[in-house]
């Protein structure tokens, strides 16, 4: 009787187990989201015109402790990403952020500020180390205006050379695509 019941409901049981895993396992959620990114569902696009302006803010380099200010980046295109190691969408888009970073890290006209929102920076550093990623981790020191960051993770903001917001996106996005890199180059050379 039990065997027949299991056979009859096997598909439902399997779907139930998958749903429980997706609801409880950060890595599983991140994996599913990154596969959806591969399908082109979360493509990013930089706006042709500014969508706002950034008020300068202070942030700390988690590695060196040095305090920096975004105003010192005037004249550069700035990619700011707010993320946390416990956030599945952040983890899913991280490889695309890393891809974009690797593409532009040696360009003197581009800066990357990856603001970590973990309560414990050791967790963020452990995540980066586990992933084999040597990205600098920063912590925002000021309360940011909602036009920049309202607490939604991940959030990405791109500033043009004049400090104007050219891209503001809450949620997962794919930054590894060739057309997105082309859009970054357009802002750099404008």
| pLDDT tens per residue across span 144-158 | 888 889 999 999 999
4 within some domain: no
Q: What is the domain extent for residue 58?
A: 38-189
Percentage with pLDDT > 90 across the chain: 51
Q: Which candidate, 175, 134, 137, 183, places its Cα nearest to that of 156?
A: 175
8 within some domain: no
Supply the CATH number for residue 84's domain. 3.40.30.10
pLDDT at position 121 over 70: yes
56 within some domain: yes
pLDDT tens column, 89-104: 998 998 899 999 999 9
pLDDT tens column, 30-59: 676 666 666 667 677 677 777 778 888 999
pLDDT averaged over every residue in the chain: 84
62 within some domain: yes
pTM of the model: 0.80
15 within some domain: no
54 within some domain: yes
* Euclidean distance between CA atoms 64 and 11, whole angstroms: 52
181 within some domain: yes
Domain count of the chain?
1
């Amino acid at each position: 009787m039990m065997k027949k019941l299991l056979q009859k409901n096997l598909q439902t049981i399997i779907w139930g187990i998958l749903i429980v895993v997706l609801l409880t396992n950060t890595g599983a959620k991140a994996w599913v989201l990154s596969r959806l990114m591969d399908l082109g569902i979360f493509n990013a696009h930089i706006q042709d015109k500014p969508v706002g302006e950034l008020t300068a803010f202070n942030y700390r380099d988690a590695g060196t402790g040095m305090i920096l200010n975004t105003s010192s980046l005037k004249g550069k295109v700035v990619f700011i990403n707010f993320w946390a190691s416990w956030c599945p969408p952040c983890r899913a888009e991280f490889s695309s952020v890393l891809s974009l970073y690797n593409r532009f890290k040696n360009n003197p006209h581009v800066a990357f500020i990856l603001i970590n929102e973990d309560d414990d920076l050791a967790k963020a550093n452990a995540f980066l180390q586990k992933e084999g990623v040597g990205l600098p981790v920063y912590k925002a020191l000021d309360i940011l205006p909602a036009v920049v960051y309202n607490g939604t993770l991940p959030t990405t903001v791109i500033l043009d050379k004049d400090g104007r917001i050219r891209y503001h996106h809450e949620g997962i996005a794919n930054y590894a695509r060739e057309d997105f890199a082309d859009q970054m180059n357009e802002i750099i050379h404008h």
